Amino acid sequence: MRGKKYVPRTRHMTPDGFARYTNRLFLESSPYLLQHAHNPVNWYPWGNEAFEAASRLNRPVLLSVGYSTCHWCHVMEEESFEDEEIARYLNENYISVKVDREERPDLDAVYMTAVQALTGRGGWPMTVWLTPDRKPFYGGTYFPARDGDRGAPAGFLTLLEKIRDVYHAQPERIGRAGQQVTAVIRERLKPEKGGPIPGSALLHRTVDVYRKSYDPIHGGLQGAPKFPSSLPVRLLLRYYRRTGDQDVLSMVRTTLEKMAAGGIYDQVGGGFHRYSTDEKWLVPHFEKMLYDNALLSMAYLEGYQATGDPEFKKILEEILSYVNREMTAPEGGFYSATDADSKTPGGDREEGYFFTWNRDELVEVLGDGLAGKAAEYFGMTGNANFEGRFIPHVPSSATGRLTGDDKSEKSWEAELTTIKKQLYRHRSQRPRPLRDEKILTSWNGLMISALARAGMVLDKPIYTERAVRAARFIISDLSRNGRLFRSFKDDRVGHPGFLDDYAFFTAALLDLYEATADTEWFEKALVLDNVLQEEFEDPENGGFFMTPSAGEGLIAREKPHTDGAEPSGNSIALMNLMRLHTYTFDDRFRRRYEKGLAAFLGNDTSMSPALSEMLMALDYHLDAPKEIVIVFPKGRKGDVAPFWAQFRKRLLPNRILVVAAQGRDLDRHARVVPVAAGKKVINDRVTAYVCEKNVCLLPATDPDTFARQLDEIERLTPEAGS
């Protein structure tokens, strides 16, 4: 079934070279589930079969949730799920269920709420004990295998034994615990009615929170670990744009510079690792996630627009080059992630080995001369900074010059390019970290948006072409009858799509419309919004549920609104409605997004830092978004170039854009995008219309006038009301 090249991932092998054990996960397509297909544990995928078996055999269910590039998931697998004694106990006393959180975020959300209620914290691997009717009664995250391991007083095997004994000896106690935890989950995930939509005072208060927690030395927030998403660079850029607050711009600039210079950034191959374990962005957790790199691409793009710093543009282009080179499927979609762990020359799996170096390797690859320069530039002098090896970083500056180097900057940049190419070529011969090759609709939506925006702002058609190709793959292979699916792997689609699949991909389609001026993408965005309205929207309280109304009936139905490493689906969905309203003037979009803003921001504002993406939507709502329509004489698209130049060098987040040729092309846009109606070429010259709320300034037929109109900003003032 898997082909001759299939290599079982297990230490339990038969003499003829195949796995000693195979369980039901072998039939799944999820890379994470397949990693566990040859554990001695008798794993089930989530589904009725598992819970019917638990009921029939009167056993508790052990639910284990993780993802393919999760380091501690691998640790727990090796210590516990590959252990034959622990596996035998599980097989004889439990029904064991394995879930990929990236394919089933709905299950992850519900049972993570349970773990957080029980322990006060969460994380992965997530380990939850359930009754056969799927109610959680105990849980946690990573558990060491045995008593005393990693300082734990009670190991996983002891917990399994004690919980099994209580389950059978005190079923009433287990039943009460399941009911109580389920009640807590339902209460925490229960939709609430909103209050009035807050004003700009909420934006001021939120920025003040970030200001107080900001790390002025290393950027980001103070302390460790440090996640790139913890300081919302794009929200701060919007705040700076409307206030002129230079301190806020400095926070953004320092954070972007320090991240790009740190070990969290792959200095040799491009792209960001998931987070830094220390406050200096030096030692990362080495997995690479598609969503991080998509979101950071947009952050560096906007940072470049706001500052003009060429280093930010360079980092953006390196990220997109990495994604194209290492994370793009032949069909055009984007893979999900790569692992933190890889094999050493001795055959052991170690975190970060693939990305780290020692001095002998530098000399072997570069020769003495370049090796010395590379060691100085990448901070590989003195004592090693990770497990006896060096993580490349740029300790002296983020600008690319060696201290004391007498070569011109251009010569040094050429040498640095040579160094990186040679190191990358050598590194590519090492055993690579495992790559999770499932294609997720939501994460692809983020990457398509990043490429479309970069293609438009940087005038790089190749980026736009990659975005179009990926979008066509999603539409052809991850969509049926106008409905999206969550994932694609091995020519199979996974679960029906969730809120973030629809929201992120709809945003991508709107970005593609602006980047390509092809109305096909706008029309497809409208189709997906109709599905969201019919199947996901809460018509009573506003906002959207994670799951469709006809989806699997879980013990609770979440309406996500706070951001994690990814934006919440509701934040992006509400922003989509705002953009659609600006394009169409259709008041139905306004009523829907205002109801959502009221639901999520109209009550408790103490969690506003966890709502940064939704606060970007609030900023759009409180602003006077610009409606920009550029019309050019038929056959003279090149005449638009001076207007494009003015548009591209400005950060204009709260706006929509239409570019069309006079005649049938403009008529085609106006039929689906009413904001384009009535616009026309004046005096046979490119004509730009800059409007707000369908009220336009005088048409601009020269780029300088257009630029002045773009620079008119609806300012936020400290006295703005709440």
Task: Tell me which long-range contacts 564-567 makes (C-beta under 8 A, separation of at least 24).
Answer: 564/229, 565/227, 565/229, 565/274, 565/289, 565/291, 565/292, 566/229, 566/291, 566/295, 566/442, 566/443, 566/446, 566/500, 567/295, 567/613
pLDDT in tens, 142-200: 999 999 999 999 999 999 999 999 999 999 999 999 999 999 999 988 877 788 999 99
The confidence score (pLDDT) of residue 399 equals 44
Instruction: Look at residue 487 and tell me if it is in a domain.
Output: no
The confidence score (pLDDT) of residue 606 equals 56
Quick one: what percent of the chain has pLDDT higher than 70? 97
Please state the separation of Cα 527 from the chain's center in Å: 24
Instruction: Look at residue 73 and tell me if it is in a domain.
Output: yes
pLDDT in tens, 113-140: 999 999 999 999 999 999 999 999 999 9
**Cα within 13 Å of Cα(346), Cβ side:** 4
* Rounded Cα distance, 84 and 209, in Å: 50
Res. 445: pLDDT tops 50 = yes
CA-based nearest residue to 451, from 469, 474, 473, 477 = 469
The confidence score (pLDDT) of residue 346 equals 87
Res. 406: pLDDT tops 60 = no
* Rounded Cα distance, 269 and 284, in Å: 15
pLDDT in tens, 583-633: 999 999 999 999 999 999 987 655 778 899 999 999 999 999 999 999 999
Res. 512: pLDDT tops 50 = yes
Kind plus residue range of the DSSP H or E element containing 429:
none
The confidence score (pLDDT) of residue 400 equals 45
Q: What is the DSSP string of 593-629?
A: HHHHHHHHHSS--TTGGGGHHHHHHHHHHHS--EEEE
Instruction: Look at residue 118 and tell me if it is in a domain.
Output: yes
pLDDT in tens, 266-290: 999 999 999 999 999 999 999 999 9
pLDDT in tens, 364-400: 999 998 999 999 999 999 899 999 999 999 997 434 4
pLDDT band at 407 (very low <50, low <70, confident <90, very high): low
* Rounded Cα distance, 361 and 424, in Å: 12
CA-based nearest residue to 54, from 104, 129, 112, 4 = 129
| Mean pLDDT along residues 206-218 | 96
Instruction: Look at residue 447 and tell me if it is in a domain.
Output: no
**Residue 294 near residue 443, CB atoms below 8 Å:** yes
CA-based nearest residue to 629, from 585, 674, 675 = 675
Please give the residue that has the higher pLDDT: either 407 or 327.
327
Cis status, amide bond into 625, omega within 30 of 0 = no
Q: What is the DSSP string of 287-323?
A: -EEHHHHHHHHHHHHHHHHHH--HHHHHHHHHHHHHH
Res. 722: pLDDT tops 50 = no
Dihedral, 106, 111, 117, 123 alpha carbons, nearest 10 = -90
Average pLDDT of the residues of the chain: 94
Res. 656: pLDDT tops 90 = yes
Instruction: Look at residue 424 and tell me if it is in a domain.
Output: yes
Instruction: Look at residue 168 and tell me if it is in a domain.
Output: yes
The total number of residues shown for the chain amounts to 722
What's the CATH code of the domain at 29?
Answer: 3.40.30.10
The confidence score (pLDDT) of residue 410 equals 80
Kind plus residue range of the DSSP H or E element containing 657:
strand 655-661
Boundary (domain end) residue, out of 167, 188, 209: 188
Boundary (domain end) residue, out of 161, 188, 215: 188
| Mean pLDDT along residues 678-702 | 96
Boundary (domain end) residue, out of 126, 155, 188: 188
Dihedral, 412, 417, 420, 422 alpha carbons, nearest 10 = -110
Quick one: what percent of the chain has pLDDT higher than 90? 88
Q: What is the DSSP string of 273-285?
A: -SEESSTTS-SEE
DSSP for residue 685? B
Instruction: Look at residue 458 and tell me if it is in a domain.
Output: no
pLDDT in tens, 86-106: 999 999 999 999 999 999 999
* Rounded Cα distance, 422 and 631, in Å: 48
The confidence score (pLDDT) of residue 608 equals 76
Strand, helix or coil at 349?
strand
| Count of structural domains within the chain | 3
Please give the residue that has the higher pLDDT: either 229 or 127.
127
Instruction: Look at residue 178 and tell me if it is in a domain.
Output: yes
Res. 354: pLDDT tops 80 = yes
What's the CATH code of the domain at 639?
Answer: 3.40.30
Give me the domain span that covers residue 668.
626-710
The residue whose two tokens read 């629809």 is 502
Going through 419-559 in order, the beta strands assigned E by DSSP cover 435-436, 439-440, 479-480, 483-484, 487-489, 492-493
CA-based nearest residue to 578, from 518, 671, 503, 515 = 503
Phi, psi of 561 (to 5 degrees): -140, -20
Q: Against a cut of 0.85, is the pTM above it?
A: yes
* Rounded Cα distance, 560 and 570, in Å: 6
